[in-house]
Structure 1
Amino acid sequence: MPTRAAMERSKYLKPIAHRILVSELWRFTRRSVPRGVALGMLAAFLVPVGQIFAAVFLALPVRANVPIAAVTTFITNPLTYPFWIAAANHIGKFILQMDAMTAGQPINTQMQSEFGQWLTWLVREAGVTAFGFFVFAIFFAAIGYLISSWGWRWWIGRKRRDRLNKILGERSGDGQ
């Protein structure tokens, strides 16, 4: 992992270093972590290539945690992407009810080549899959935000409870 000074000196980051190296974007707080998770999920499903860069640049204006936003994009990695494509296609078809629709046959069906039929099918499936990815982006961003904020609250509550039990245990041991 490069140091802060190395990132400040980088010729690629120099124009935006003053924005991306703000310490607020790198702290783990109860507000920035859920924002980072939500933006990472959103970028993971909406941007097919360069999800990490998209998540980082989305994190800047909303003060989300940059490392969390970048790491969360790995939910759609090259190994899991075929699964997500198939799932997005099924969800898109289910929501749009594409199987229930009967596509009208064009007048020149006999004149359409096999390549033309394949291209028509590909465009229809790509649209349905893109809609499925949009649904996934919204759904997983919302769920990720809620789960991470609840998880943060649980984790901090557990730490406080353990600290309080330790303090009460020391006090009760002193009085006896």
Structure 2
Amino acid sequence: MSTIVARIRAWGQRNMPTREQMERSRWVPKSVLRSELWRFTRRSVPRGVALGLLVGILLPFAQIIFAAILSLPVRANVPIASATTFVTNPLTTPLIWAGAYQIGNLVLHIDNEAGGAIDRLFALTDMWSAIEWLTAEGKSLALGLVIVAVVSASLGYLVSGWVWRWWVGNKRRVQQRGRRA
């Protein structure tokens, strides 16, 4: 198990942009480089996980840049937000999109049986043309991606908060045992 964690850590260190690399980028605003956005705290880490999952699933391009920029207003951890965008990669994207398409079809099918409120909303706001422009697959994929992104971001926020709490508590217990011995 520790070798898997070591491999994941090494992969992250190789592929995650450093603060210095982001300083050299002309696309990243300098306000994203504030030190509080790079600290690992109990609030910033879950926010970074949620933001990274949301951006990683919804945006098919420039995910790291958007995650870094959006970290500013929500005060999320920039490295964590950037790293969690890697949830979508050439291996996982087709699976996520296929699942999102199925979820979107299911929701729209249920909506059609219930009177078509989502279709009426798309027609009133002219969202359908915007969704068609963004995705070649249309409503089902777009709606499914939004649902998958929001659910995964929410779960990522909760799970990372619990893991953070467990990790800090475990660290404190080990320190207390060391003081007693």
TM range (shorter): 0.7 to 0.9
The AA in structure 2 aligned to 1:74 is F
The AA in structure 1 aligned to 2:64 is I
- 2:26 corresponds in structure 1 to 12
Alpha carbons of structure 1 residues 7 and 132: separation in structure 2 relative to 1, 3 Å: closer
1:130 CA displacement: 0.8
Q: Deviations over 1:107-144 (max 9, x none)?
A: xxxxxxxxxxxxx9xx8942101100000111001000
1:2 CA displacement: 5.0
The AA in structure 2 aligned to 1:61 is P
- 2:10 corresponds in structure 1 to none
The AA in structure 2 aligned to 1:153 is R
Q: Gaps spanning 5+ residues in structure 1: where?
A: 102-119, 170-176
- 2:76 corresponds in structure 1 to 64
Greater mean alpha carbon deviation, residues 152-161 or residues 78-87? 78-87
1:46 CA displacement: 1.3
The AA in structure 1 aligned to 2:94 is P
Q: TM-score, normalised by structure 2?
A: 0.72
Give the SS at the match of 1:97: helix
Which of the pair has more CA radius of gyration? Answer: 1
1:22 and 1:133 map into 2 onto residues whose CA distance is 31
- 2:98 corresponds in structure 1 to 86
Q: Deviations over 1:134-159 (max 9, x none)?
A: 00111001000000000000000000
Q: TM-score, normalised by structure 1?
A: 0.74
Alpha carbons of structure 1 residues 3 and 37: separation in structure 2 relative to 1, 3 Å: closer
1:25 and 1:162 map into 2 onto residues whose CA distance is 28
1:45 and 2:43 equivalent?
Answer: no
1:16 CA displacement: 2.3
Specify which of 128, 153, 173 is matched with residue 140 of structure 2: 128
1:153 and 1:56 map into 2 onto residues whose CA distance is 24
1:53 CA displacement: 1.3
2:90 and 2:47 map into 1 onto residues whose CA distance is 24
Q: Deviations over 1:31-85 (max 9, x none)?
A: 1000000000110111121111111111011111001000101111122111111
- 2:45 corresponds in structure 1 to 33
CA contact (8 A) 2:19 2:33 kept: no
2:143 and 2:19 map into 1 onto residues whose CA distance is 40
1:163 and 1:51 map into 2 onto residues whose CA distance is 39
1:29 CA displacement: 0.6
1:3 CA displacement: 5.9
**Identity of aligned pairs, percent?**
49
The AA in structure 2 aligned to 1:64 is A
CA contact (8 A) 1:93 1:99 kept: no
RMSD: 2.5
